[in-house]
Chains A and B, each alone.
Chain A
Amino acid sequence: NAGVTQTPKFQVLKTGQSMTLQCAQDMNHNSMYWYRQDPGMGLRLIYYSASEGTTDKGEVPNGYNVSRLNKREFSLRLESAAPSQTSVYFCASSSLDAQPQHFGDGTRLSIL
């Protein structure tokens, strides 16, 4: 029962470096999401993909890009990392919009 799998689990970057966070789900869900979670801020939506082939901005998209590679995989890219992007990143999936979302265990990202 893998559910939603995120890699890597931890990462430390220097300011200006780039990296891609990977997410895969095995529940045949149509919709996938990327969130960041910061102390006192709750979960904030970065980008989402309602279905394969579509992506849209969420609440805090600046500094990020996404790719819906296929129905299973949804990646998040930081092109030029900034200290303000230090956070815990969660990927989630759901069968449709406004349905229960199922989360991975997160990527803890520190940018120095």
Chain B
Amino acid sequence: EDQVTQSPEALRLQEGESSSLNCSYTVSGLRGLFWYRQDPGKGPEFLFTLYSAGEEKEKERLKATLTKKESFLHITAPKPEDSATYLCAVGSGNTGKLIFGQGTTLQVKP
């Protein structure tokens, strides 16, 4: 069964305190791993797609990496505006659909 688990559920950081969010997955035939950011009252906003183990993508203070079983979203020197819920999803080779994790809610305090 295709499954995505994100940890931790919630993370509080001080401004400038780097950390990582984890996304573990089991899927039949990975067709991409997707990271989204979701602000309160808004829809998820697409950040990155990773397709193969070893691949990395960066955007500002965010860097996403992928292995065969998990992905990490590294946040370097975060700012309060990075506070949001971060969602991970995998594309299933069985169905072609995205399977979403429950998200990690990040709070960055000044």
Chain A residues with CB under 8 Å of B91's CB are 97-98
Judge whether B64 is part of the interface by a CB distance below 8 angstroms. no
Contact present for A98 and B98 (CB under 8 Å): yes
Quick one: given A40-B102, A42-B101, are A100 and B41 in contact (CB under 8 Å)?
no
Contact present for A103 and B45 (CB under 8 Å): yes
Contact present for B103 and A42 (CB under 8 Å): yes
Which of these, A44, A50, A102, A105, contacts B41 with CB under 8 Å?
Answer: A105
> CA of A50 to CA of B95 in the docked complex: distance in angstroms?
11
> CA of A45 to CA of B49 in the docked complex: distance in angstroms?
20
Judge whether B110 is part of the interface by a CB distance below 8 angstroms. no
Instruction: Determine chain A's interface SS by DSSP, over half rule.
Output: loop
Which of these, A42, A98, A100, contacts B100 with CB under 8 Å?
Answer: A42
Chain A residues with CB under 8 Å of B96's CB are 50, 97-98
Chain B residues with CB under 8 Å of A48's CB are 97
Chain A interface size, as a band, is 20 to 34
> CA of A44 to CA of B98 in the docked complex: distance in angstroms?
9
Which of these, A42, A50, A90, A98, contacts B102 with CB under 8 Å?
Answer: A42
> CA of A48 to CA of B98 in the docked complex: distance in angstroms?
11
Judge whether A43 is part of the interface by a CB distance below 8 angstroms. yes
Q: Tell me the smallest distance from the CB of A3 to a CB of chain B, in Å.
A: 9
> CA of A45 to CA of B100 in the docked complex: distance in angstroms?
9
Q: Which of A10-30 contact B (CB under 8 A)?
A: none
Q: In this complex, which of B87, B96, B98, B101 has the most chain A Cβ atoms within 10 angstroms of its Cβ?
A: B98
Q: Which 3 residue pairs spanning A and B have beta carbons closest together?
A: A103-B43, A98-B91, A97-B96
Q: Hey, which bits of chain A sit against chain B, CB under 8 A?
A: 4, 40-45, 48, 50, 58, 90, 92, 97-106
Sampled A-B contacts (16; CB under 8 Å): A42-B87, A43-B44, A43-B100, A90-B43, A97-B91, A98-B92, A98-B97, A98-B98, A100-B34, A101-B46, A101-B98, A102-B46, A103-B44, A105-B42, A106-B41, A106-B43
Q: Hey, which bits of chain B sit against chain A, CB under 8 A?
A: 31-32, 34, 36, 41-46, 49, 87, 89, 91-92, 96-98, 100-103
